[in-house]
Structure 1
């Protein structure tokens, strides 16, 4: 691991408690929709650069504006790339930032409730937002936005919590086989 690589890749493995047996179950990068606007900004640089010869002596002004917009949009894309949400067998955590890096973590034992919201566009494109509720009043890991495949990630977290024995397993009062016969039609058509 070189010094420069810390600023170019999230390197979530260095935050793991390897000696305690912690391992990554899912590493979630931000959904691609978060880079659409910065990519449009980069595309807007092209006409700015094309306008340079038309500006005569002020060509440098278009160059500065174009380079500034390009640099800003590339920084936004890199910030999204460096933002990772990680699900391990022991906890969930989020690492984000380039120059200043922030780490927020929550043990599985502290997760009381997970809310998943998907706006209309999120349902179309396959992303959603997580809200973690815990017993703590103030927590560093509450809202995780633009998570791809949120239903699958929620089931992953619920499965880890259940397998770890952190929540009491509930025995069903009856099974699907109890409904065999005349009532099975109600289960198949959703009524």
Structure 2
């Protein structure tokens, strides 16, 4: 691996696929832009410290400069963390790749997903993001919560479609008799009374 690839700041999730088994990416989820609002505010907070340099005594110019650089470096690190964090839905599993200098990969096969909860805080409902919480058959799992997922309802539906297409859950089929109600028509009569 070349040194330049180390500084691409792209996790390149396709290299983690099991291509010889036919695994394909259904969706690659980047963090929603709301995940970097805090770091951007932190970066903006560094600017006043740089401007203070012109009003402090000449011997102390380095104090606001160091504070500004620390804020800027910390904010940049947090922005890179959000950029390098990817959640991937494939036809066989879901996995998350994150980390800047070192990478951490957490994987969960589709067969082990028991439940997906989508938490949407009020601000998330306004700006279109939410957080996934996975429940699986394993007690200790590396893939529990995925934060700042854009369009969480659509992404949750795509995971459910992958689970359904894999045949892990039986299809729900209703007969025509289920739609018609009881054979004696009491259901229709009862509903007519409540109108």
TM-score where L is the length of structure 1:
0.88
CA shift digits 1:102-159 (9 cap, x unpaired): 1000010111111111111111111111111111111111111111111000100000
Residue 34 in structure 1 maps to residue 35 in structure 2: yes
User: Against the structure 1 CA distance between its residues 175 and 160, is the aligned structure 2 distance closer, same or farther, given a 3 Å change threshold?
Assistant: farther
Q: Which residue of 2 aligns with 1:115?
A: 117
Runs of 4+ residues deviating >6 angstroms:
none
Q: Which residue of 1 aligns with 2:21?
A: 20
Aligned length: 181
Q: Which secondary structure does the structure 2 equivalent of 1:152 belong to?
A: helix
Structure 1 or 2, whichever has the larger Rg, is 2
Q: Which residue of 1 aligns with 2:67?
A: 65
Q: Which secondary structure does the structure 2 equivalent of 1:54 belong to?
A: coil
User: Against the structure 1 CA distance between its residues 21 and 136, is the aligned structure 2 distance closer, same or farther, given a 3 Å change threshold?
Assistant: same
- Structure 1: give runs of 5+ residues left out of the alignment: 187-191
Structure 1 vs Structure 2 CA RMSD: 2.1
CA shift digits 1:67-111 (9 cap, x unpaired): 111011000000011111000011000011112211000010111
- Spell out the pairing of 1:1-191 with structure 2 (5 A cutoff): 2-7=2-7, 8-55=9-56, 56-174=58-176
Deviation at 1:170, TM superposition (A): 1.2
TM-score where L is the length of structure 2:
0.86
User: Against the structure 1 CA distance between its residues 96 and 175, is the aligned structure 2 distance closer, same or farther, given a 3 Å change threshold?
Assistant: farther
- Structure 2: give runs of 5+ residues left out of the alignment: 182-187
Deviation at 1:42, TM superposition (A): 1.0
User: Against the structure 1 CA distance between its residues 14 and 70, is the aligned structure 2 distance closer, same or farther, given a 3 Å change threshold?
Assistant: same
